Structure 1
Amino acid sequence: MTKVTVDRIEVQQDGLRFGDPIGCGYHWTEPDEIDAYGDSVRRLAGKVELAVDGFERTASISEEVFAGEAADTLRDRAAKRHEESAAVRDNLRGLGRAINAYSDVLRRHREGLEQLRDHAVSAGLEVRGNQIWPPIETLPGDSTQQQADAWEADWKAYQACFETKISLRDARRASTKDLVKALADYAGVHPDKDKQKLVAAGGQQVKFGELRREAAEEAMEAVQANDAADAARSTVDALKQREQRALGELEDLANADAPADQIKAQADKVAAVHRELAEARVEAREAEATAQREQAQANRAARNLEAAEEGRPRIVAEGQPMPQASSQPVNLKDRLG
């Protein structure tokens, strides 16, 4: 027997080595399904565009059309919502494009595997099902030159199939990484980090003391933030009353034909109170936003404690625990191939 030694090419991750059977069957999600999902995401971005336009028009209402405290508040809120909705629109568009691009990669991958199988058949290699089998490793010592040449040609054909398979696999994996990066960039999702922070669901494995302490601290911070917001609103109300009184006194002085210096002094007082009121309104809005944020965190901590006590699973994302509907974490790699 004559044995020819072939250098084995180590291929990381899936363990495929030169001399192994080469799989050429497509078992990932159908590209059309991925493409349809990307289209739906982009259509959703188009619907968000309507909200972007509406908030922009509301934020740009002129003082001549709508004036006063209510108008200012409406314009401020519309401007913030415009920024938020525009960011959502852009993120949805980017994510939809990334998903559509991934569907194209899967489609090329499927076509490449089909072409690989056809090439192996045309080259005379053994193909069983969706696997291309390597030629025999040894030849009898009494083989003819014709048999040796055919055996060498089979191995060269197998090598070409192997290299094509590696190229197809690497291209698909690179595109999968690009899609995961797009998820992180556009949706704020970090699958790897989330998976590492999975918290066990068993009640005996959850440190209830820490959860109770966290819930108590978050509740106290929410109470303090709400008290600060109430105080800020009270300050605004008091300044509004002072401003109204000052304006009334200014109007009385003007109607009574008071000296100009008195009228000017009162007008300066009105202006000073108005500036103070404007600053107080800004502080009140910030305090209100802080109170809402602290209340949301307190509610989340309370839900986490309740879920742990009932033995429901939790998954921690971006440093904040959130309830999870299923006890099994979603594996993005399984979903996308």
Structure 2
Amino acid sequence: MTRVVADRIETQQEALQFGDPIGCHYHWLEPDEVDSYGDSVRRLAAKVELAVDAFERTSQLSEDVFAGEAADTLRDRAARRRDESATVRDHLRGLGRAVNAYSDVLRRHREGLEQLRDFAVSKGLEVRDNRIWPPVETLPGDAGQKQVDAWENDWKAYQACFEAKVELRDARRAATRDLVRALAEHAGVHPDEDRARLVPSGAREVRFGDLRREAAEEALEAVQAGDAAEAARGTVDALRRREQTALGRLENLVLAEAPPEEVQAQAAQVQSLHRELTEARVEARDAEAVAQREQAQADRAARDLRDAESGRPRLVVDRAEWAPADRPTDLRDRLG
């Protein structure tokens, strides 16, 4: 008896568990290309260093060389540009070092996968489709001692491959996190600090972290609602085709003067499909309404974020809905 394993895409899910096939194919960027990009970033940092020196010399112009209000303004601006350029230079240097370090990790990862594959082959494990497949999960009850020993050795070899794969994966993930931190530092993006960052907008203050989070959540809910509506429409189409097929069979039975019990059974099936189709149409209409509402909310959240980032004041207008006097008002409907 062998273990049946679903062929998951490990590069996307990264949900490797003991007993799963172990991927040993390198599919990331070529380390040399990543290394070349890191070198180019560090060369750019060297060019920015020249700008830092130029602003430094300009900010230190003496009064004997250049005096007056214009000279003071020039020196002040040069000093600010020097500080800004120095910050960019430091960030570029850090980013270049992080990219070069990441290329080294990718290079070691590729070499480790090659060694992992060679080790698995040398131990007699099955290597197919760039994967190391686990041994047979169980043995028959009449298996001999030699067969049991070979089975245990295969599982020990698989365990060594599994542990090596986990170590390679963890090292690559750690390097990826370091690279992301360097990118965030260079771009000045600190998501954890968004909640504490307040930016004035007119007479009010806008919390950009909250707006970004709200826009992202609304966009995700709109996508999910759209998928649900699409699935509901697909169900309606499928039931409609089944109903048409069942009606065609019923017509053929009637024309062929089939026995009454066959005609009644087919008619009952048509009625059942018609009921399912009616219910599915109602669900599809509800899902479509939800999708439209979620999309409108996502568009509104995106506009609010865009207006806040551009510094425009936000005008929020709630549309009042008329309700008969004898109808109780639902505050949840009124307040959204």
TM-score (norm 2): 0.57
- The alpha-carbon deviation at position 209 of structure 1 amounts to 12
Contact 1:41 1:93 in 2 (8 A): yes
Residues 141-166 of structure 1, C-alpha deviations (whole Å, 9 max, x = no match): 22222111111111110110011111
Higher relative contact order (CA 8 A, sep 6+): 1
User: Matched residue pairs, number?
Assistant: 214
Once residues 209 and 185 of structure 1 are traced to their aligned partners in structure 2, the CA distance between those partners, rounded to angstroms, is: 25
Secondary structure of residue in 2 paired with 1:67: coil
Residues 142-193 of structure 1, C-alpha deviations (whole Å, 9 max, x = no match): 2222111111111110110011111111111111111112222232134798
Secondary structure of residue in 2 paired with 1:132: strand
Contact 1:105 1:172 in 2 (8 A): yes
> Any gaps of 5 or more consecutive residues in structure 1?
4-12, 219-295, 306-337
For residues 210-225 of structure 1, what are the structure 2 equivalents within 5 Å? 211=304
Aligned AA for 2:155?
W
> Any gaps of 5 or more consecutive residues in structure 2?
3-12, 195-208, 223-294, 316-336
**Percent pairwise identity:** 70
Aligned AA for 1:207?
R
- The alpha-carbon deviation at position 107 of structure 1 amounts to 0.9
Aligned to 2:299: 206
RMSD, aligned α-carbons: 3.4
Once residues 22 and 190 of structure 1 are traced to their aligned partners in structure 2, the CA distance between those partners, rounded to angstroms, is: 36
Correspondence 1:72 to 2:165: no
Aligned AA for 1:100?
N
Secondary structure of residue in 2 paired with 1:127: strand
Residues 22-48 of structure 1, C-alpha deviations (whole Å, 9 max, x = no match): 111111122122111111111111111
For residues 76-91 of structure 1, what are the structure 2 equivalents within 5 Å? 76-91=76-91
Secondary structure of residue in 2 paired with 1:139: coil
Residues 239-291 of structure 1, C-alpha deviations (whole Å, 9 max, x = no match): xxxxxxxxxxxxxxxxxxxxxxxxxxxxxxxxxxxxxxxxxxxxxxxxxxxxx
Residues 41-71 of structure 1, C-alpha deviations (whole Å, 9 max, x = no match): 1111111111111111111111111111111
Aligned to 2:206: none
Aligned to 1:101: 101
Aligned to 1:174: 174
Once residues 128 and 302 of structure 2 are traced to their aligned partners in structure 1, the CA distance between those partners, rounded to angstroms, is: 59
Aligned to 1:185: 185
Aligned to 2:38: 38
Aligned to 1:165: 165
Change (3 A) 1:176 1:210: closer
Deviates most, 50-59 or 138-147: 138-147
Once residues 54 and 112 of structure 2 are traced to their aligned partners in structure 1, the CA distance between those partners, rounded to angstroms, is: 47
Once residues 169 and 105 of structure 2 are traced to their aligned partners in structure 1, the CA distance between those partners, rounded to angstroms, is: 11
Change (3 A) 1:191 1:36: farther
Aligned to 1:127: 127
Once residues 203 and 172 of structure 1 are traced to their aligned partners in structure 2, the CA distance between those partners, rounded to angstroms, is: 40
Once residues 160 and 25 of structure 1 are traced to their aligned partners in structure 2, the CA distance between those partners, rounded to angstroms, is: 17
Aligned to 2:14: 14
Aligned to 1:227: none
Residues 92-112 of structure 1, C-alpha deviations (whole Å, 9 max, x = no match): 111111111111111111111
